[in-house]
Amino acid sequence: MSKTGISNRIQNAPSDYVEGYGRARKINREIADNYIAHTHLGDPVMDALVDELASFPRSQVHEFINAGMSEDRAGMRNAPQSLRDFFIDAPQPDPDWLDRETFFEGVCAFQKNAVLILSAFVAGVLINGFATLISKSFVQTGRIFDNGVWRLRQNNRHQLEMFLPGGMERNGDGWKLSVRIRFVHAQVRRLLAQPNEWDHEAWGTPISSAHLGYAVAVFAAHSIK
């Protein structure tokens, strides 16, 4: 994000963040500013895809996504070009900070300590992760109370699949589950964009980039701790 973009977003900090934002800036101004800037940002690529898919029947959308996951060009024939680009024709390059050579070390560490890590994930990490404003989006849509046990199982499976050898490669189940989660998050953001569903001035963007970045940091730090 450009410095101008960050500056504009900081000036419009969601009201429920203002008090904590002030305290955080005294500790680390750069991190606090960056976090607040991203409370207004979702997942631009996936949000655009979900908006374009909104006019298609849900069953057809699922067919397109399943075909895309499998790189099935025939199954994607009638899908929007943007979705074909995402999965097959013009995949996004890795970000500069991603070092795939380090994946193996993480896989080995997880496999040696899988029981401890998964136990910590369920008993502590998820609780801390949802003890923030990110939980509001799931409460609003009923995804915590109506599907709580199912979500817990899905989170555990996602964690496990990511740390299997090759799990985060293009055809790995960890990668596929991660992409599906991005679709779900984008659908939630689109749903909560409707009038009277979400207080954007108070809470920023539902399931924002700030929320997701914080969740990744919390999940990693608490699992190691």
Local mean pLDDT, 10-residue blocks, the chain (225 residues): 56 88 94 94 96 95 96 95 91 87 90 84 69 72 60 82 92 95 94 85 93 83 72
101 DSSP 8-state letter: G
Tokens representing 97 are 């900070």
pLDDT score for 143: 56
pLDDT score for 166: 93
pLDDT score for 7: 55
pLDDT score for 2: 58
pLDDT score for 134: 73
- Exposed / middle / buried, residue 38 (Cβ in 10 Å: 0-12, 13-18, 19+): buried
Instruction: Give the residue among 199, 223, 218 at the shortest CA–CA distance from 39.
Output: 199
Cα–Cα distance measured from residue 38 to residue 9, given in angstroms and rounded to the nearest whole number = 8
Residue with tokens 């419009």: 12
pLDDT score for 8: 57
Q: Which residues contact 225 (CB under 8 A, 6 or more apart)?
A: 120
